[in-house]
Amino acid sequence: MAKIGKIARRSFLIGSAAIAGGVAFGVYQVRKEAPNPLIAGEGEATLTPYILINQDGITIIAPRAEMGQGVHTTLAALVAEELDAAWDDITVLHGPPAQAYYNQALLGLALPFRHYADSDFQHNLRQSVGMVGKLLNLQITGGSTSTRDAYERMRHAGASAREALKLAAAARLSQPVGTMRTENSRVIAQNGTEIAYTDLAEDLRDITPPDTDLRDRKLWKYLGTSMPRTDMVGKSTGTAQYATDIQLDGMKFATVRINPRRNGMISYDATEARAMPGVDTVIDLDDGIAVVASNTWLAMRAAEAVAINWEDATYPSDTETLRGAIGASLDGPADSTTRDDGDVTATRPGTEINASYSVPFLAHSTMEPMTATARFTGDRLEVWVGTQAPVLVRDKCAEAVGLAPEQVIVHTTLLGGGFGRRSEFDFPVQAARIAQSLPGAPIRMTWTREEDMRHDFYRPAAMARFRGIVADGKAQLVDGRIAAPSVTHSSAMRMMGSVPPGPDRGHVEGAADQPYAIPDFRITGHLTELDMPLGFWRSVGNSFNGFFFDTFIDELAHAADADPLQFRLDMAQAEHAPSAGVIAAVGEMSNWGADTPTNIGRGVGFTYSFGTPVAEVVEVEDTGNGIRINKCWIACDVGTALDPGIIEAQMISGAIYGFSAAMQGEITFRDGEVEQYNFYDYDALRMHNTPDFTVQIRETNPHMGGVGEPGTPPAMAALGNALFNLTGTRARELPLINTFDLIL
Amino acid sequence: MPTTLTINGQSHDIDLPDDVPLLWVLRDAIGLTGTKFGCGVAACGACTVQIDGEAVRSCQVALADVWGAVTTIEGLGTPVNMATLQQVWVDHQVAQCGYCQSGQIMNAAALLAQTPDPTDQDIDDAMQGNLCRCGTYPRIRAAIKDAAQRLQEA
């Protein structure tokens, strides 16, 4: 396939063009404010920061990382739709670190609104606050924002490029531009003359692409349908390239062994390791060592042979103490009160329910352990890495090796899973430092699975306490307290060295922002001061609050003697129609309320997160040989469904990620070290215990929602609610395997 | 003394210690990076290749113990000439991050060679050693069934 060769060549061109400033054809507003990082080579045109046309074809630059969520395909479809490019003619590449690729939608999430109450005023305000993202170089893939961020920008890029191509063709043919039309990567003149876009690359150099209106949705050909993913052939033939697959002449292979207590080294002795076969060198990384060898496995063996005296952890050394600290903050004063409807201190008639919940630390455990490839040549550093945050990687690597950011080139490869883990910069910085100690030699660094499991930035353990009152079959009052160490603070300190001002909304998302009308409704956040390695884990705060809040809603429904699905529906109907819509839909899909055998249990779960309401019904079966999940029905409302096949895959993926964590995910600490090592003690769903799924995608939401994360939070709650329905036992702690005999 | 291996029909002389796992011979010495490292302890299946048609975890087979001809994902088919199973994987849009899929496909290929018309239980039994953190299992199951049909009709 000729395309593979082209990809490699174009990667190089764009990689080397990174940063150096803009030529080319300005169009859309964003480009005017941030320089185009693409430099046109001989016979090429970089029409916008998103499109490169040369004689070989049309390349679309995706500003977001492809980590499995299909973002390259959907972002390319946004451009191709307006560009009238034939789908087979397109190649998609990751963009270099550049201001032009900042994520406007991500920062908008920080504004103090209930996101479901999204009036146009609030929507526009969020968009403009999002512009600050450009100043912060917020080129980050996260928060389920990629498509929302790109939806207008990338269609505009395609539209103005199309108009530029028409102008070029009109000039060449000396015919009025108004008589030109475009189709299948060609400009077609009134007399039928066709000119391929690739033949117009040279002509484009003197043309400023005009601004133009976007097409009406009724005219869409690609958007709204399931497109063949641009990465699918590579991923089905072993030819897709991850950071761990980069091959360069003279390559050496490295691994690291870092302090499992996340501190420094007191001393180490590498005498034995240095004498082992294939070993080139052992490098001191301050918080651990790296071994460079002629083969990755030889490096891993030698790393084990280094005798290291580690410093102790700076955080409490065992799970019990950590949980104690979180429990203590639950009793302490609130750091935030971001939902406070009515008056929860008033005396209300009805039945009072009190419940406490607890969830453990979780690892991301991407299939590809942390890997990066780097080459240092004195005044230049090149890094190949699967990253959700290329600008951050560039700047942190530059700092680590004493270069300016513009001397560092970051090539973003495909990510072997992200889930938030690859928004961190620890591993590319290690590769950069190893490369610096062996100038000229390309270094491919691969962590062991054990290193990966024990050096994650974990989803924090969290606890909650809820008080509620039900009367007349309805929730009258909900007062919830949520305690955990702050993911936002932990990551902000690593990335920026300071904590952002204002209440930590991420800490209470999935509870405080739920679209339910409850007369007295308060959620307070309680932050636990712990200096822990914590990070963004698929759905972030929703990952624990979704379980806490929706499980408590289920408890209230039972206390009110109401049908759990109808109970949620009643509260959502009064507050947010799209949310009510998904709850009703999942009821219809699952034939909710139908009689089931006694060995079958069903539960419903609902969470509104990342702009998308998702309701899930889970059916569990007591097989007599353990409990299994039989079925899962999912209804989501994404507003505008750009690629139904990808959205369906993400909803199922998110639910499986949630089920895996809810059933058995648990990271524990002893002597400051994580006690889990590999997939044998931190496992996930597999083929035999994955249920059948049915997904319905709805489009009544007035604004587009995300799809990568919203499937995860309700899955955890729905499973627990189904197990309650089956067994009568209410699990208020995860993982559920500690309470139920689940088939693993 | 170099060890000679037959990989995807080609002979390779390997100059590495006897105990280096086949996985790392393939990836680092030969440059066949389609086979992935996931766990190193046969717990995830990402490194699955075939030796004489049998699916094996290449992280657990030492260089000196390779007993037959090795087939990797690159030997199954190429982007311009995909094996039926790979084409089915594309048609069903199975992969997400894709990192585990080489191993999934090599394991599924061995399953279909032995059991041309697998039941759900056969698929569960054969595939449960292959972990996918993106949760592509429903599409993998559908793809295997579709491939079984296509291969039987062929």
Instruction: Indicate whether A24 pLDDT > 80.
Output: no
Residue A9: pLDDT band with limits 50, 70, 90: very low
Inter-chain contact B96–A69, Cβ cutoff 8 Å? yes
Residue A122: pLDDT band with limits 50, 70, 90: low
Q: Which three-class secondary structure state does DSSP give residue A699?
A: coil
Amino acid at A380: R
Do B71 and B98 reside in the same domain of the chain?
Answer: no
pLDDT of residue A487: 95
Smallest Cβ distance to B33: which of A229, A245, A294? A245
Higher pLDDT, A159 or A133: A159
Inter-chain contact A298–B20, Cβ cutoff 8 Å? yes
ipTM entry:
0.99
pLDDT of residue A31: 33
Do B64 and B112 reside in the same domain of the chain?
Answer: no
Instruction: Indicate whether A23 pLDDT > 60.
Output: no
Please name the residue of chain B whose CA is at the shortest distance from the CA of residue A228: B93
The arithmetic mean of pLDDT across residues B26-39, rounded, is: 98
Q: Measured between CB atoms, does B8 come within 8 Å of chain A?
A: no
Average pLDDT, chain A: 90
Inter-chain contact B86–A416, Cβ cutoff 8 Å? no
Inter-chain contact A232–B35, Cβ cutoff 8 Å? no
The arithmetic mean of pLDDT across residues A607-635, rounded, is: 98
- At A458-516, the pLDDT tens digits run 999 999 999 999 999 999 999 999 999 999 999 989 988 888 888 999 999 999 999 99
Residue from B14, B25, B28, B105 whose CB has the most chain A CBs within 10 Å, to mutate? B28
Residue A348: pLDDT band with limits 50, 70, 90: very high
Smallest Cβ distance to B39: which of A247, A253, A678? A678
CA dihedral A388, A390, A395, A401 (to 10 degrees): 90
**Which residue, chain included where needed, has tokens 């469904």?**
A641
The candidate with the shortest Cα–Cα distance to A385, out of A244, A251, A253, is A244
CATH, range A2-103+139-237: 3.30.365.10
Identify the domain containing residue B134 by its residue range.
77-153
- At A402-413, the pLDDT tens digits run 999 999 999 999
In chain B, residues with a C-beta closer than 8 Å to the C-beta of A235 are 95, 98, 101
Are the C-beta atoms of residues A592 and A605 closer than 8 Å to each other?
no
DSSP notation for A641-662: -S-HHHHHHHHHHHHHHHHHHH
The arithmetic mean of pLDDT across residues A256-272, rounded, is: 98
Number of domains in chain B: 2
Of B75, B104, B120, at which residue does a domain stop?
Answer: B75
pLDDT of residue A451: 98
- At A718-733, the pLDDT tens digits run 999 999 999 999 999 9
Domain A333-362+458-738 annotated CATH 3.90.660.20: no
Chain A contacts in chain B segment 78-117 (CB below 8 A) = 78-80, 82, 86, 89-90, 93-102, 105
- At A230-245, the pLDDT tens digits run 999 999 999 999 999 9
The arithmetic mean of pLDDT across residues A64-91, rounded, is: 95
Smallest Cβ distance to A68: which of B39, B97, B127? B97
The arithmetic mean of pLDDT across residues A356-362, rounded, is: 98
pLDDT of residue A109: 52
The candidate with the shortest Cα–Cα distance to A70, out of A637, A650, A651, is A650
Compute the distance between CA of residue A495 and CA of residue A429 in angstroms, rounded to an integer.
13
In chain B, residues with a C-beta closer than 8 Å to the C-beta of A233 are 79, 82, 90
pLDDT of residue A13: 34
Inter-chain contact B93–A226, Cβ cutoff 8 Å? yes
C-alpha torsion sign, points A292, A295, A301, A304: positive
Instruction: Indicate whether A579 pLDDT > 60.
Output: yes
In chain B, residues with a C-beta closer than 8 Å to the C-beta of A365 are 133
Residue from B101, B133, B136, B145 whose CB has the most chain A CBs within 10 Å, to mutate? B133
Rounded to a whole number of angstroms, the distance from the CA of A152 to the nearest CA of chain B is 25
Rounded to a whole number of angstroms, the distance from the CA of A42 to the nearest CA of chain B is 29
Smallest Cβ distance to A653: which of B24, B35, B135? B135
pLDDT of residue A142: 76
Smallest Cβ distance to A236: which of B16, B23, B95? B95
Residue A95: pLDDT band with limits 50, 70, 90: confident
In chain B, residues with a C-beta closer than 8 Å to the C-beta of A658 are none
The arithmetic mean of pLDDT across residues A184-190, rounded, is: 97
Instruction: Indicate whether A134 pLDDT > 80.
Output: no
Do B101 and B68 reside in the same domain of the chain?
Answer: no
User: Do the domains at A2-103+139-237 and A243-312+370-446 have one common CATH topology?
Assistant: yes
Q: Measured between CB atoms, does B64 come within 8 Å of chain A?
A: no
Instruction: Indicate whether A637 pLDDT > 70.
Output: yes
The candidate with the shortest Cα–Cα distance to A667, out of A452, A486, A519, A521, is A452
In chain A, residues with a C-beta closer than 8 Å to the C-beta of B109 are none
Instruction: Indicate whether A25 pLDDT > 80.
Output: no
Rounded to a whole number of angstroms, the distance from the CA of B56 to the nearest CA of chain A is 17
Do B65 and B88 reside in the same domain of the chain?
Answer: no
Residue from B26, B39, B100, B119 whose CB has the most chain A CBs within 10 Å, to mutate? B39
Region for residue A727 given its phi and psi (left: phi exceeds 0; alpha: psi -120 to 50; beta: otherwise): alpha
DSSP notation for A33-93: HS-------TT-EEEETTEEEETTEEEEEESS--SSS-HHHHHHHHHHHHHT--GGGEEEE
pLDDT of residue A118: 57
Higher pLDDT, A102 or A281: A281
Residue A115: pLDDT band with limits 50, 70, 90: low
pLDDT of residue A148: 84
Inter-chain contact A231–B90, Cβ cutoff 8 Å? no
A51-60, A111-120, A171-180: segment of lowest average pLDDT:
A111-120
Residue boundaries of the structural domains of chain A? 2-103+139-237, 243-312+370-446, 333-362+458-738
A458: enclosing H helix or E strand: none
**Which residue, chain included where needed, has tokens 């648990």?**
A666
Of B75, B96, B128, at which residue does a domain stop?
Answer: B75
The candidate with the shortest Cα–Cα distance to B136, out of A635, A696, A684, A385, is A684
Inter-chain contact B35–A242, Cβ cutoff 8 Å? no
Pairing mode, strands A90-94 and A57-62: parallel
Compute the distance between CA of residue B85 and CA of residue B79 in angstroms, rounded to an integer.
12
The candidate with the shortest Cα–Cα distance to A220, out of A729, A642, A644, A702, is A642
Inter-chain contact B93–A228, Cβ cutoff 8 Å? yes
The arithmetic mean of pLDDT across residues A556-585, rounded, is: 98
CATH, range A243-312+370-446: 3.30.365.10
pLDDT of residue B142: 98
**Which residue, chain included where needed, has tokens 């239980």?**
B121
Helical H runs in A238-389? 271-274, 296-305, 319-331
- At B49-76, the pLDDT tens digits run 999 999 999 999 999 999 999 999 999 9
Please name the residue of chain A whose CA is at the shortest distance from the CA of residue B80: A1
Residue from B93, B105, B146 whose CB has the most chain A CBs within 10 Å, to mutate? B93
Residue A131: pLDDT band with limits 50, 70, 90: very low
Rounded to a whole number of angstroms, the distance from the CA of B153 to the nearest CA of chain A is 22
Of B22, B45, B75, at which residue does a domain stop?
Answer: B75
Smallest Cβ distance to B34: which of A67, A238, A683? A238
| CB atoms near residue A116 (< 10 Å) | 23
Rounded to a whole number of angstroms, the distance from the CA of B81 to the nearest CA of chain A is 9
Smallest Cβ distance to B105: which of A67, A236, A678? A236
Smallest Cβ distance to A685: which of B17, B82, B135? B135
Residue B81: give its domain's CATH number: 1.10.150.120
Do B86 and B146 reside in the same domain of the chain?
Answer: yes
- At A168-178, the pLDDT tens digits run 999 999 999 99
pLDDT of residue A29: 29
Residue B69: give its domain's CATH number: 3.10.20.30
In A553-611, at which residue ranges do the beta strands (DSSP E only) sit?
600-609
Instruction: Indicate whether A309 pLDDT > 90.
Output: yes
pLDDT of residue A7: 33
Residue A114: pLDDT band with limits 50, 70, 90: low
Do B45 and B65 reside in the same domain of the chain?
Answer: yes
User: What is the number of CB-based contacts under 8 A between chain A and chain B?
Assistant: 197
Please name the residue of chain A whose CA is at the shortest distance from the CA of residue B131: A686
Distances in Å between the Cα of A87 and the Cα atoms of A74, A163, A185, A655, B38 are 12, 19, 9, 30, 33
Do B89 and B149 reside in the same domain of the chain?
Answer: yes
Please name the residue of chain B whose CA is at the shortest distance from the CA of residue A687: B128
Percent of chain A with pLDDT over 90: 80
Inter-chain contact A237–B34, Cβ cutoff 8 Å? yes
Residue from A226, A235, A249, A689 whose CB has the most chain B CBs within 10 Å, to mutate? A235
